[in-house]
Amino acid sequence: MILAYRVAGLVALALGIVGIFLPVMPTVVFLLVAAGCFAKSNPEWERRIVEHPRFGPPIVRWRANGAIGPGAKAAALLALAGSAAMGLLLVREDPWRWVPLGVLLLVGPYILTRPNQ
């Protein structure tokens, strides 16, 4: 089981690194998953992620009280809204054109109700 957590952590970490360079991929979400997997398989790797000067603080805030910073909230909601608009404008097949809007309507309120700090 430890190997499965380690592999999942490495995959999440790799996706998080890709997210640094691709604005359409969420970096911190994947790093949260990686830190959680490494907590069960390799505490040293978890510590390195949590203590990272740029990516560690959002993970610590999330773990402490489920907080999402205002900038991250704005970026997430903007990305969700952009996806919903593109789905409605570019996808012709129902019901697929409505899926991004549904995600926005389900996930958006959750993001908005998370504490800032």
Q: What is the DSSP string of 87-105?
A: HHHH--STTGGGHHHHHHH
Examine the domain organization and report whether 102 and 59 are in the same domain. Answer: no
Residue 23 binned pLDDT confidence (cut-offs 50, 70, 90): confident
Examine the domain organization and report whether 12 and 41 are in the same domain. Answer: yes
Contacts of 25 (CB under 8 A, 6+ apart): 15, 18, 19
Q: pLDDT tens digit string along 54-85?
A: 999 999 999 999 999 999 899 899 999 999 99
Examine the domain organization and report whether 39 and 80 are in the same domain. Answer: no
Examine the domain organization and report whether 52 and 93 are in the same domain. Answer: no
Examine the domain organization and report whether 58 and 8 are in the same domain. Answer: yes
- What integer is the mean pLDDT of 33-59? 95
Q: In which domain, by residue range, is 13 found?
A: 2-65
The amino acid occupying position 22 is: L
Domains identified in the chain, total number? 2
Share of the chain above pLDDT 70, in %: 100
Residues 36-60, buried b or exposed e (16+ Cβ, 10 A)?
Answer: bbbbebbeebbeebbeeeebbebbe
Examine the domain organization and report whether 41 and 6 are in the same domain. Answer: yes
Examine the domain organization and report whether 45 and 10 are in the same domain. Answer: yes
Examine the domain organization and report whether 45 and 89 are in the same domain. Answer: no
Q: Hey, is 25 helix, strand or coil?
A: coil
Residue 87 binned pLDDT confidence (cut-offs 50, 70, 90): very high
Q: Give the C-alpha separation, 39 to 60, whole Å.
A: 13
Q: Given this model, what pLDDT does residue 24 score?
A: 77
Examine the domain organization and report whether 58 and 105 are in the same domain. Answer: no
